[in-house]
Amino acid sequence: MGVDPVDSVTVDARGLLGDREWAVYDAAGRLATGKHSRRFRRMDPVFTASAQRLGDSTLVSLPDGVTVVAGTPEADAALSRHFGEPVTLRQETDVMHQDGASFSIVGTATLAELGAQEGDGRPLDPRHLRTNVVVETAEPFIEDSWLGRDVVIGDVVVRVTESTERCRMVGVAQVDLHERPGMLKAISERHDLCAGVYATVERPGAISVGDRVAPGGLP
C-alpha cells in the first residue's frame, strides 16, 4: 500500500516490525502489488490505500475515508469493494510477503542522481523505491560497494547481499505521489536497472532517524 514513513522502528530477524506483515490476497491466493509473478498480481488499487501500525493493530485507510482494522471481516469487505472483486487481508505465514529480501537500503546521492535523470531535477522521493532505510551518502550508487559487507545502523547490523533490481513499481502513482513514467528507463540507462541494495538482518535492534551508519562495521 502507500508507504508509511516513520522516525524510529524496531528491527527483528524478519526486518522492520510491521513491514509487509499484511498483504491483500485475491481469490486465487496471489498478493496484490504492482507487477505480475508467480506470487504477485498487478492490482494498482492497492496503491491508493494506506496502512499504519498503531500499537498491536494495523489500520487501513481507503480513498473514500473509510478506516478499518486489519484482520477483521469489515476490512475484507471494505477492501473487496475498493478492488471491485473478492479479496482478503492476511498476515504473513508460509508465503513470504517481502519481494527479494527482508531489508533494503538506498542512498540520498542515488535518489538525487535519479531525480536529475528523470523529472524536474529534484531528488527522487524514496517512497517510489519503497525502501526500508534511506542513508545519507555523497556518491551515487555507493551502496553497491557494500555488497558482502556488514553495515551498522544504530544498534542494528545487516549484511548487504545484492543490488536491488527495479521494475515498473518505481513509476506507479501511489498515495501522495504522482506517476513517474520515465523512472524505470532512467534507472536502466543510468545503472543497469539497479538502485539500492538488499540485506539480511544479522543483529536485531532499533533504528531511528539520525542514527550513525557504518559500512564495514564499527571501528
Q: Which three cell numbers stand for residue 137?
A: 551518502
Other C-beta atoms lying within 10 Å of the C-beta of residue 209: 12
Does the residue 13 lie in any domain? no
Does the residue 39 lie in any domain? yes
* pTM, rounded to two decimals: 0.90
Sequential DSSP letters for 101-151: -SEEEEEHHHHHHHHHHSSSSSPPPGGGTT-SEEE--SSTTGGGGGTTSEE
Does the residue 163 lie in any domain? yes
Instruction: Judge whether 117 and 186 are in contact, CB under 8 Å.
Output: yes
Are 65 and 107 members of one domain?
A: no
Question: What pLDDT does residue 35 have?
Answer: 85
25 phi and psi angles, rounded to 5 deg: -110, 140
Does the residue 171 lie in any domain? yes
Query: At a CB cut-off of 8 Å and minimum separation 6, what does 80 contact?
Result: 86, 87
**219: confidence class by pLDDT, cuts 50, 70, 90:** very low
Query: Could you tell me the residue range of the domain that residue 27 belongs to?
Result: 20-91
Are 77 and 115 members of one domain?
A: no
**217: confidence class by pLDDT, cuts 50, 70, 90:** low
Does the residue 58 lie in any domain? yes
Question: What pLDDT does residue 99 have?
Answer: 80
Half-sphere exposure of 107 (CA within 13 A, CB side): 18
Domains held by the chain: number: 2
Q: What would the pLDDT profile of 151-167 be if each residue is shown by its tens digit?
A: 999 999 999 999 999 99
Quick one: 212 exposed, middle or buried, by C-beta within 10 A (0-12, 13-18, 19+)?
Answer: exposed
How high is the mean pLDDT of the chain?
93
Q: Return d(Cα 13, Cα 94) in angstroms, integer.
A: 16
Are 108 and 209 members of one domain?
A: yes
Q: Return d(Cα 201, Cα 40) in angstroms, integer.
A: 24
Q: What would the pLDDT profile of 120-137 be if each residue is shown by its tens digit?
A: 788 999 999 999 999 999
